[in-house]
Amino acid sequence: EPEVTQTPSHQVTQMGQEVILRCVPISNHLYFYWYRQILGQKVEFLVSFYNNEISEKSEIFDDQFSVERPDGSNFTLKIRSTKLEDSAMYFCASRRGDQPQHFGDGTRLSIL
């Protein structure tokens, strides 16, 4: 069964550094998403992306965050200057039509 794949599985970064989280959505999906989950808390929406542009973004997704689909397969989330509170599990998801969003295994981001 097709899967959403995310790399790396764990990223450790110094505060203030830039980080890029990578995702390969399922190939025939058209809608892409990023969510995050701080340890032990609920899943929070960050941003959705369709037709090469952002469809919606949350208050969390400020100007330190950006997304990009640099080619036909990858979907990336960049955090320009990381803060301690950015430490979380970041999930990429993709969707086709009315089907449920399929989630990747996540990237655990640890900011030191």
| Number of helices (H), then strands (E), in the chain | 0, 11
Q: Assess whether the previous peptide bond of 8 is cis (omega < 30° from 0).
A: yes
CB 109 within 8 A of CB 88: yes
42 binds another protein (CB under 8 A): yes
Contact between 32 and another protein per CB under 8 A? no
Q: Quote the CA–CA distance of 61 and 19 in Å, as a whole number.
A: 15
Pick the binder of another protein from 73, 81, 99, 110 (CB under 8 A).
99
How many residues lie near another protein (CB under 8 A)?
24
Determine the distance from the C-alpha atom of residue 92 to the mean position of all C-alpha atoms in its chain, rounded to a whole number: 4
The reply to whether 43 sits near another protein by the rule CB under 8 A is yes
Interface with another protein, residue 72, by CB under 8 A: no
Which residues contact another protein (rule: CB under 8 A)? 31, 33, 35, 41-45, 48, 50, 55-56, 58, 91, 95, 98-106
